[in-house]
């Protein structure tokens, strides 16, 4: 009996490191355990003054994300996949910044768990991609995936999902193509279009109808800025995109891409 009590006390005093992060970076495949990451030689405590998910200052034990991206180059494309199906598309180049906006993998210590994101909700853990000085790199809220389960190196979005591409006759710097880039950055983590994409969250933004077909332009822009100002429901998940995150000029290009794609409806082969 005494032995069982001692064993129980030992188990209670020992943190459980059950979470794991899977990095599938092409030829480099590795699974990291929570305990390993907390003890990583580059791990440190960072302060995030205005955390996107918690809406307040947060402190994290974190590792520079670049330190984990073995074999990845700045020209590559990555996807961070969350436990709930959120799939953030990430250009690799900003993840290697060592000044200005810097990407960090925050690691939740089971001995010191993070707070819940909301009532009856889990925390942002076990792994959360956060940024210091995000304004310097014009980092979108969609580039802060939480509850991350894995990070994969993939082909660029346009290559993986041809059904998302605008008319190839358009110039590379055409506002529609710029809107396509903004769609990838701000929308593709939650939405598909023409059935193309990896997200499991929001509705398709072209099939059967584009929002540009049932919203006037002004109301669609208002909806993107503040979804709850037009449609209110308790479980709404879409964040509003402020002018800091998505300036008016960029919002116009994003809506322009959606209007353009309303004339290019197709069902993705995927």
pLDDT (0 to 100) of residue 163: 96
Domain residue extents for the chain: 17-154, 160-262
Is CATH 3.90.1150.10 what the domain over 17-154 is classified as, yes or no?
no
228, 18, 52: which is closest to 139 by C-alpha? 52
pLDDT (0 to 100) of residue 98: 92
pLDDT digits (tens, 9 = 90+) for 81-109: 999 878 899 999 999 999 999 999 999 99
Choose from 14-23, 25-34, 103-112, 117-126 the range with maximum mean pLDDT. Answer: 103-112
Q: Are strands 87-91 and 77-82 parallel, antiparallel or unpaired?
A: antiparallel
pLDDT digits (tens, 9 = 90+) for 117-173: 988 889 999 999 999 999 898 898 889 999 999 999 999 999 999 999 999 999 999
Lowest mean pLDDT among 142-146, 192-196, 227-231: 227-231
pLDDT (0 to 100) of residue 164: 96
Average pLDDT over residues 166-183: 96
pLDDT (0 to 100) of residue 3: 43
pLDDT (0 to 100) of residue 36: 96
Distance from CA of residue 33 to its chain's centroid?
21
pLDDT (0 to 100) of residue 13: 39
pLDDT for residue 196 is more than 60: yes
Look over the chain and give the mean of its residue pLDDT values, rounded to a whole number: 89
Architecture of the domain whose range is 160-262? Sandwich (2.60)
8 A C-beta contact, residue 163 and residue 195? yes
235, 245, 255, 263: which is closest to 84 by C-alpha? 235
Question: Angle at Cα 57 formed by Cα 102 and Cα 99, nearest 5°?
Answer: 15
Average pLDDT over residues 191-219: 92
**Counting beta carbons within 10 angstroms of the beta carbon of residue 170, is it exposed (0 to 12), middle (13 to 18) or buried (19 or more)?**
middle
* Residue 2: pLDDT band with limits 50, 70, 90: very low
Percent of the residues in the chain that have a pLDDT greater than 90, as a whole number: 71
**Which position has the higher pLDDT, 208 or 6?**
208
């Amino acid at each position: 009996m005494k032995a069982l009590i001692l064993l129980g006390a030992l188990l209670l005093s020992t943190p459980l490191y059950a979470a794991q992060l899977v990095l599938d970076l092409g030829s480099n495949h590795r699974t990291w355990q929570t305990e390993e990451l907390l003890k990583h030689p580059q791990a440190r405590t960072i302060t995030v003054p205005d955390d996107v998910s918690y809406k307040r200052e947060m402190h994290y034990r974190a590792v520079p994300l670049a330190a984990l991206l073995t074999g990845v180059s700045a020209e590559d494309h990555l996807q961070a996949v969350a436990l709930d199906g959120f799939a953030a598309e990430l250009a690799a180049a900003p993840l290697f910044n060592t000044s200005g906006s810097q990407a960090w993998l925050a690691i939740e210590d089971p001995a010191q768990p993070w707070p819940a994101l909301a009532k009856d909700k889990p925390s942002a853990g076990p792994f959360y991609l956060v940024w210091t000085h995000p304004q310097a790199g014009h980092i979108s809220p969609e580039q802060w995936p939480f509850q991350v389960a894995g990070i994969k190196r993939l082909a660029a979005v346009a290559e993986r999902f041809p059904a998302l591409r605008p008319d190839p006759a358009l110039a590379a710097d055409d506002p529609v193509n710029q809107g396509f880039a903004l769609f990838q950055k701000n929308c593709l983590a939650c939405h598909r279009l023409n059935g193309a994409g990896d997200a499991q969250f929001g509705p398709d933004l072209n099939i059967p109808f584009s929002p540009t077909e049932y919203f006037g332009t002004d109301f669609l822009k208002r909806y993107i800025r503040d979804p709850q100002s037009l449609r209110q429901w308790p479980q709404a998940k879409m964040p509003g995109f402020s002018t800091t995150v998505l300036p008016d000029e960029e919002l116009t290009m994003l809506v322009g891409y959606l209007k353009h794609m309303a004339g290019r409806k197709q069902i993705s082969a995927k």
